[in-house]
Each structure stands twice: as C-alpha cells, then as structure tokens.
C-alpha cells in the first residue's frame, strides 16, 4: 500500500470516511459516527475503500468531504434533538409535576441552533461560577391536553450540550 502524506476522503454508502496519515508513517481510517457526530476510528472501512470492494464508494475532495460531513452532522443533530423532544413529551404525558430525568447528550450534535429549531426559543439562565459552561438554557415543552410542562434545561460546553435535565412542573 502506498501511503501519501495527505488525507484522502471518501463517502462509503454516503457515510464520510477519511484515510489519515499517522505520525509513524502509516495510515488510519476514521468514519462518521451518526450517534455522536464525531469521526471515529474504524479500520474495517479500509476494506470498503479498496477498489473492487463492491461498495458504493465515492472519492471526494476535501471541500466535498467537509460539505458531506456538515450535512451528516445536521441530519444527526436534528434526529438527536427530535429524540430529546420526544422524551420530554413522553415525560409530560406519563408523569405528574415534580418528575426529573437526566439525559446524556450524544457527542457534539446538540448545538444551540439545533435545539432552538426543535424545541423553540430557549430562556437564558445564569451560568454557574467555575462551571466551565458557555451557556445555560431552559426550553419549555408542552403536550396538548396535558396539564404538565416539561422544562428541558441544557448546559453548553465546547459549543454543544454537555448536560441535559428534564423536569416536569404544572403548566399553570
């Protein structure tokens, strides 16, 4: 295998894949993880980008790769935000006031813009001192015909949700 000094970019079945030179002169393979929005090592994809693998593989320029990666992250972010909304709606419908639940955010997918698009405009909350938070926002999720509102509180770090807390309260 010839190893070049610069990364090579692909889409394997529309999933972004990059072959990246390593410090020891080798090469590693990273693929887009739809659950987290991150590029993760997955060496099984070396086989897929080999000519004759039978996979739907497109060689991409770096700009095409970045565009594809951005589109995948936007799609995965919208899906993750819809799951947060669905969880909040289920909590409203199934629980009374005073119920609380914490969620683990999926990587860096849940940005403020993505959450605003899914949950509506949020209300800025104070940032805790020494928290390293970049933002603290509360969203209100309501379900038609249910007397409970779910407050989704999110603390942001590094441009994305770091902590997600859901709690129910009377809608009045």
pLDDT band at 151 (very low <50, low <70, confident <90, very high): very high
| Average model confidence (pLDDT) across the chain | 90
Question: Tens digit of pLDDT for each residue in 75-92?
Answer: 999 999 999 999 999 998
User: What is the end-to-end Cα distance of the chain in Å, rounded?
Assistant: 67
pLDDT band at 1 (very low <50, low <70, confident <90, very high): very low
Cα atoms in the 13 Å half-sphere on the side-chain side of 78: 6
Q: What percent of the chain has pLDDT over 90?
A: 69
Nearest Cα to Cα of residue 74 among 117, 12, 119, 18: 117
pLDDT band at 172 (very low <50, low <70, confident <90, very high): low
């Amino acid at each position: 295998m010839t190893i070049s000094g610069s990364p090579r970019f692909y889409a394997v079945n529309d999933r972004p894949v990059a072959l990246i030179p390593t410090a020891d002169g080798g090469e590693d393979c990273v693929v887009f993880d739809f659950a987290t929005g991150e590029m993760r090592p997955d060496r099984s994809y070396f086989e897929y980008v080999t000519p004759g693998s039978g996979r739907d593989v497109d060689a991409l320029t770096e700009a095409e790769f970045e565009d594809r990666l951005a589109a995948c992250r936007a799609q995965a972010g919208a899906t993750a935000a819809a799951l947060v909304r669905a969880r909040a709606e289920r909590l409203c419908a199934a629980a009374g006031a005073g119920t609380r639940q914490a969620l683990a955010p999926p990587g860096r997918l849940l940005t403020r813009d993505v959450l605003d698009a899914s949950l509506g405009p949020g209300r800025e909350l104070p940032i805790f001192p020494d928290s390293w938070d970049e933002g603290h926002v509360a969203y209100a999720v309501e379900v038609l015909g249910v007397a409970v509102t779910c407050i989704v509180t999110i603390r942001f770090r590094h441009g994305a949700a770091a902590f997600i807390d859901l709690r129910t309260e009377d809608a009045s």
